[in-house]
Structure 1
């Protein structure tokens, strides 16, 4: 699994998860519950992980909807 996005914005995480799932890209959201428990300090951001063989497609899709700045470096 490859981390492609890390954020404390749970709305953004939910949107991106839905976007990727609708494109049939397997998604794992890690640390979602820790991020929700302590959102103000930002110490535990949620992370979107996808299989390595889907990473390029996921990155392209996220960029196409205008959230390319949220992507982690490859």
Structure 2
């Protein structure tokens, strides 16, 4: 697994997951429950992981949908 996205925006992970699922790319959200423990403050980032072989295509899909990626 390789990290695709890291964000404190609680709406971005579900949106990115839906986009990638629609393209047949499996995702795994990490740290989702840790972020909700802090309430709606959003201090702890959530991460979205994909398989290494899907990473390049997943980045392109998110870029095409105006989801900014660092790095």
Deviations for 1:55-74, whole angstroms, at most 9, x for unmatched residues? 0000000000011x2x242x
User: 2 CA distance for matches of 1:2 and 1:41?
Assistant: 22
Partner-residue secondary structure (3-state), 1:66: coil
TM-score when normalising by structure 1: 0.86
2: distance between equivalents of 1:23 and 1:51?
14
Give how far 1:41 is off. Answer: 5.4
Q: Which runs of 5+ in 2 are unaligned?
A: none
Question: After TM superposition, where is structure 1 displaced by more than 3 Å over at least 4 residues in a row?
Answer: none
Q: Over the residues paired in the alignment, what is the CA RMSD in angstroms?
A: 1.2
Relative to the length of structure 2, the TM-score reads 0.89
Count, aligned residues = 70
Which runs of 5 or more residues in structure 1 are unaligned?
A: none
Return the alpha-carbon distance in structure 1 between the equivalents of residues 60 and 42 of structure 2: 30
Q: Quick one: distance in 1 between partners of 2:37 and 2:12?
A: 17
